[in-house]
Structure 1
Amino acid sequence: MPDNLPIHAEFWRDVLFHTYSADDTESGLAKGARYIGMQGHLWSEMIRDDLQAEYMLYPRLLALAERAWHKPAWAVPYQAGRVFDDKSGYFKAKNRQLREQDWQRFVALLGYRELPKLTRQGRFFRIPTVAANRRDDGTLNLFSEIPGFKLEALINGRWVNYHPKLDFDAVNAVRAVLADESRAGRALPLPAPVEPTVSPLEN
């Protein structure tokens, strides 16, 4: 909610993942103050070439455009003089539900429509790193925050298509791949299974 930044204290965390308070009673906009538009920054001191710049810009730039062009129904209008924290309660359960629905709509459009367009245009966007965990039955659960990618697992030095019956302990790494298989994202190494240790006293 770019026009109501203080309210994010209800669900954002600081750099140490602690809750915080945003006191807007003295720092609100001056009466009659207005602004137009949005901006996003790419800090380029360490950018070496155009490909790296594209990697840093996309797909985040599309999220910036989405919010600049569309004010969502779940946004809480700004009112000066409030104090926000994780218990202030201005962002209601209904707002959270609508925000989640809006996010699912956005990432579906991103993964199935917009990123394929960028692929055809030759843009070097960031492919998301996948998340992985072990299910209770020992199989691999794999997830990408953006849909539309092929998911792969590295087993014995060979990348194979992910399926839900893969043994977690047999997988060395996981990754997402473009649907046309022209490029893969960063591989996430999985921890090797821990061998049970035997105490010398048990021998």
Structure 2
Amino acid sequence: MPRIHWLSASATVTRSLAMKSSWSVICSLCNNEQEVKQDCSNCGARLGKYFCGKCNFFDDDVSKNQFHCDRCGICRTGGADNFFHCEKCGCCYSFVLKDSHRCVDRAMHQNCPICFEYMFESARDINVLRCGHMIHVECLREMRAHRRFSCPVCLKSACDMSDAWQKLDRQVAASPMPAIQKKMIWILCNDCGAASEVQFHILAHKCPGCSSYNTRQTG
């Protein structure tokens, strides 16, 4: 069923009850009812500064640089010249990420792992994590405020943690374990996926393969 997305004060949308797929708009200036178009056929008033006939989308705030992506099937903001469509991920990304993002099938066609809003149609800013999963920028900010630095979906590090790992190196070196507690344990690295046998430490366990402390004890 067609949908009208309305962010304009120049018209009112109506839908025929007899034909559920038949939409019309009423000009707020002259009360003329017509099929969905950008301009009033009676008085010539522009019903929305931005209009997409494919999405039935009107918007008076053109500072958002709206554009329609045929492959996404929806209108987006930010300017068509600043985005490219990734076929594997099934969504538009900033050109900044063209050669650096990790593809995940239909990456944006998921709910945000924090607030559970469907991200493909979300108007809020979205961050692409190093692992390729997505999260709202404000949700990521809140997550970091609570000292959560791993992807809620796959548990890989959500950002460059090298400074934090160096700090942990110093803390571990400054806190040697008593000889009686120098037992060996198995860990799994959330970043590289390697399983390793390492010496137990009360603070953290470092992956010998990639030097990440984003690990969990498995045995």
TM-score by length of 1: 0.26
The answer to which structure has the higher strand fraction is: 2
The answer to which structure has the higher helix fraction is: 1
Larger radius of gyration: 2
TM-score by length of 2: 0.24
